[in-house]
Structure 1
């Protein structure tokens, strides 16, 4: 009878050792239960590529600075909450609007020159 209990306990210990071997070593994470499959989130819509590139915007802003004056160019840049031209060029989403604003300033500046010549 004692031998039967020893044999039963030995088998139980062997089973526990097998279970223990399946567990991760200390410091490792236990294998997580498989979570239900999650639906993929819809892809974020990427902002459309600007029509004007960095070089075109730079040239147009510099043209405003030389044709009209530097404060006019600075005003365009700051209207996009940017400290300077380099800061503006890190925001491609502003390229088209900045280019358009610079063109408008140049057209307005040309109109003022024509008015001054008529006087």
Structure 2
């Protein structure tokens, strides 16, 4: 549709985002909230980034990425993210980084498991301060 009403835009984004969460019922609520706040969506940029990523995959830039990372880094992700956790595991392995999967969380673990994320972030920061 070239033109959508506000409610149609919210519905489209809610439908697109609710499956990012482990719990579909809770995910629907979070997606609807996000659809009202995270706006406007830059569809042209999303398309361009997707095309660029397929044409020039991250694998070709791991050495560059590794140099840009701080001395101590860690990957954190939701174990129930609909994007395959195996991809995050593979990235962590190739970058030589630890991966902390957050159980019971999807693509936005800070929403689904805020206490677990908070615990892991505190541990990480305390490790940095103590190092």
TM-score, structure 1 length as denominator? 0.23
The structure having more radius of gyration, on CA atoms, is 1
Query: More strand by proportion, 1 or 2?
Result: 2
TM-score, structure 2 length as denominator? 0.22
